Amino acid sequence: MTDPKIPVTEDELHAYIDGELPPERRSDVEAWLATHPDDSERVQSWRTMAEALHARYDAVANESVPPRLELERLQRPPRKWLYGAIAASFAAFLMGGASGWVAHGATSARSTLQAFTGDALEAHRLYVVEVRHPVEVPGDEKAHLQQWLTRRCGRTVHAPELQSTGLKLVGGRLLPGPSGPASFLMYESPSGERFTVYATKTTTEAMQMRYTSEGTTGALFWADRGVGYVVIGGSDRQRLTQVAQQVYDQTERSGG
């Protein structure tokens, strides 16, 4: 047994919940919790949240990291299919005239956004199940998070305030996008409900909000001023729309 006078750290409390605390320190933590009701309450709330996340997401927790989310893709050129799409668009213009080009442009824009919406959905499923390390930079370092993502993504990154929808910023991380870095922000409600906001540069200047879903996960995606956005949450479309509308309104005001 170690010295029980040594204060218990937050990392140790998390490790205690996860079963990763060294055996010689476990009795000290339990003794600490018995005399520190505030920490005991926090531990219980974390345990309840962890159980809720496991119940909801364990089916995907052990999936391998998809190749499209590998960090080395940050340095890769755009996918080969993008060049094919450009060539196909040019051919359509030559054969179909200006009206055909406009119609194809709308379809191409939708396809491009749907492609990176797939990336966003995979990132959501990968990180939303994490209890201790869901993000790289925590939400209480919001100013640093925004500055870091703005610098790395080459555009203004603003983390929306979503308190009106009952959500608090957990934090964010940098991810590879289809043709460059993408920002990834995570929000959480007191009950453990999580939403993520994925954004990256796109050649599509503007596109109205559209809905897609995979299993019990729903996503709303759109483009504005050369940036594509994907807001992802549960299967409640009305709730998802409420959150996405807040994100849209605030990114419109902030310009990013």
Tell me the torsion sign for CA atoms 116, 243, 217, 213: negative
Lowest-confidence pick of 107-111, 129-133, 212-216, 223-227 = 107-111
Q: Determine the pLDDT at residue 68.
A: 58
Task: Provide the token pair at 114.
Answer: 């749907």
| Dist. CA 223–CA 27, nearest whole Å | 53
| Dist. CA 112–CA 227, nearest whole Å | 12
Q: Determine the pLDDT at residue 217.
A: 94
Which pairing describes strands 168-176 and 137-138: parallel, antiparallel, or unpaired?
antiparallel
Q: Determine the pLDDT at residue 98.
A: 44
Quick one: angle between helices 10-18 and 23-35, nearest 10? Answer: 110
Q: Determine the pLDDT at residue 107.
A: 47
| Dist. CA 117–CA 249, nearest whole Å | 20
Q: In terms of pLDDT, which residue wins out, 41 or 111?
A: 41
| Dist. CA 179–CA 75, nearest whole Å | 9
Give the whole-number percent of the chain exceeding pLDDT 70.
Answer: 71
Sheet containing 217-224, strands listed edge to edge, beginning at the edge strand earlier in sequence: 137-138, 168-176, 181-188, 194-201, 227-233, 217-224, 206-214
Q: Determine the pLDDT at residue 101.
A: 39
Lowest-confidence pick of 7-16, 64-73, 222-231 = 64-73
Q: Determine the pLDDT at residue 21.
A: 78
Residue 30 forms beta bridges with which residues?
Answer: none
| Dist. CA 105–CA 97, nearest whole Å | 12
Is residue 71 over pLDDT 80?
no
| Amino acid found at 163 | Q
Domains of the chain: 10-61 (no CATH), 68-254 (3.30.200.100)
Is residue 8 over pLDDT 50?
yes
| Dist. CA 45–CA 199, nearest whole Å | 31
Averaged pLDDT for residues 69-97: 51
pLDDT in tens, 10-69: 777 877 877 777 888 888 888 888 888 888 877 777 777 666 666 656 665 555 656 655
Task: Provide the token pair at 212.
Answer: 């897609």
Q: Determine the pLDDT at residue 66.
A: 61
Lowest-confidence pick of 3-7, 159-163, 173-177, 250-254 = 3-7
Is residue 87 over pLDDT 60?
no
Nearest by Cα to 136 from 121, 120, 123: 123
Q: What φ, ψ does residue 68 adopt, rounded to 5°? A: -70, -10
Q: Other CB atoms closer than 10 Å to residue 16's CB: what's the count?
A: 20
Is residue 1 over pLDDT 90?
no
Task: Identify the burial level of 115 via C-beta atoms within 10 angstroms of its C-beta, where 0-12 means exposed, 13-18 middle and 19 or more buried.
Answer: middle
Averaged pLDDT for residues 162-184: 94
Is residue 72 over pLDDT 60?
no
In this prediction the pTM is 0.62
Is residue 104 over pLDDT 50?
no
Averaged pLDDT for residues 68-79: 53
Do the Cβ atoms of 1 and 27 come closer than 8 Å?
yes
Is residue 97 over pLDDT 50?
no
Q: Determine the pLDDT at residue 132.
A: 85
Give the DSSP H/E element, type plus range, for residue 25: helix 23-35
